[in-house]
Structure 1
């Protein structure tokens, strides 16, 4: 079978250095989406809260079009869901969501962390350690609104080091919903310090290049979080509605 010559037409394509960089400012849709995302993750917009396009457009000083597009993007992440009034509301997590979400994480993340530890070997992991320090500082100050995002940065710093685009892409899709569910669980039952200790143990195994230990600790951490959040949601008033 003849081989395709991928270089045959390379002369027709200008070198990357001659192409102008993309410096387009963030769109109104992006700004609205990011503001709503932050409000949802920090609990300012609670589960079940209806998100009305007209009200949001007035609040942010934009037309309804960027609000509508922002809500569509948030729906694709799982943070909002359709409601009975042909609009959308902040998602109301239940135990089924927790089980499915954390089972999906458990199927992929421990293996990604193991591959990352083997790939990097025994070496400091600056990005993960910085994220862990930021999370620890938030816990110490009592300012825990941004803790979910800091924890997601920690987990992402670990699993992206595996350098497997398919694994990372799959886990990235779960990031916002994981931060949302974890944040809701903490508001019902605070487990910040326990999770911080578990993160520290995972990072130690990672920096020692111990792939099997890092994998086991990550799996145990995710499974424990699943059980804790499920119990917290089960104890919450109106759970399962």
Structure 2
């Protein structure tokens, strides 16, 4: 059977988009693991060679990333990793996150019974990853430096929040949360929190679980509000 020209074009478009998305994910990983710290230059040709692709998907991925604010482009100079978030940007990001997550908690409350086991599992993973960071800290005599050393802990922390956001059963809230996730990690880098709020975050997550278990529909919202207020206070203190 002969493939129609428009079908071939559509298939080519999908393949190109998949390649661009793969490059986007690879570059994002570099930004978050400390490989390319804030202010670093991003060469399209160098990235293409490193990733084994042509410059075109790299260029497309960086254009897409520019819209998120993670990279910036200067005429005649190319792309650079965006500088650390300033206090004003941090405050705006924390405000946006609070609005989104409180709305998600409100919508998740009626479904508590169905997602509470997953939330407890996510919390257990968070506690375990926190223990590993503490052990690493004790072995080295100081907090581990860089996002790579803390990635497991950060991912476990964020997964706890995502369980609740998914339980809100609103695809657009989830999409907005996922679009914020890279910025949340950048906030941690900018604030240089490291492990300084580790114990507080674990304890506050436990309080959120207890609030969901209480049967009081308002308690989870207040517990999340208190947790995010603590995150904001600690972040801005370290900025």
Decide whether the 8 Å contact of 1:182 with 1:229 is kept in 2. Answer: yes
Aligned to 1:182, the other structure's residue is in SS state: helix
Aligned to 1:210, the other structure's residue is in SS state: coil
Which has the larger helix fraction? 2
TM-score w.r.t. length of structure 2:
0.76
RMSD in angstroms over aligned alpha carbons? 2.6
Structure 2 counterpart of 1:151, from 157, 174, 196: 157
Decide whether the 8 Å contact of 2:16 with 2:57 is kept in 1. Answer: no
Decide whether the 8 Å contact of 1:148 with 1:183 is kept in 2. Answer: no
Give the distance between the partners of 2:181 and 2:187, measured in 1 at CA: 10
Aligned to 1:148, the other structure's residue is in SS state: helix
Stretches of structure 1 that go unaligned for 5 or more consecutive residues are: 1-22, 234-241
TM-score w.r.t. length of structure 1:
0.75
Structure 2 residue 117 is matched with structure 1 residue 126: yes
Partner of 1:135: 126
Structure 1 counterpart of 2:96, from 95, 101, 104: 104
Decide whether the 8 Å contact of 1:116 with 1:161 is kept in 2. Answer: yes
C-alpha distance 209-115 of structure 1, shift in aligned 2 (>3 A)? farther
C-alpha distance 204-147 of structure 1, shift in aligned 2 (>3 A)? same
Aligned positions, number = 210
Structure 2 residue 86 is matched with structure 1 residue 94: yes
Instruction: Kindly state the Cα deviation for residue 83 of structure 1 after the two structures are TM-superposed.
Output: 4.2
Aligned to 2:60, the other structure's residue is in SS state: helix
Instruction: Kindly state the Cα deviation for residue 164 of structure 1 after the two structures are TM-superposed.
Output: 2.7
Structure 2 residue 153 is matched with structure 1 residue 162: no
Instruction: Kindly state the Cα deviation for residue 44 of structure 1 after the two structures are TM-superposed.
Output: 2.6
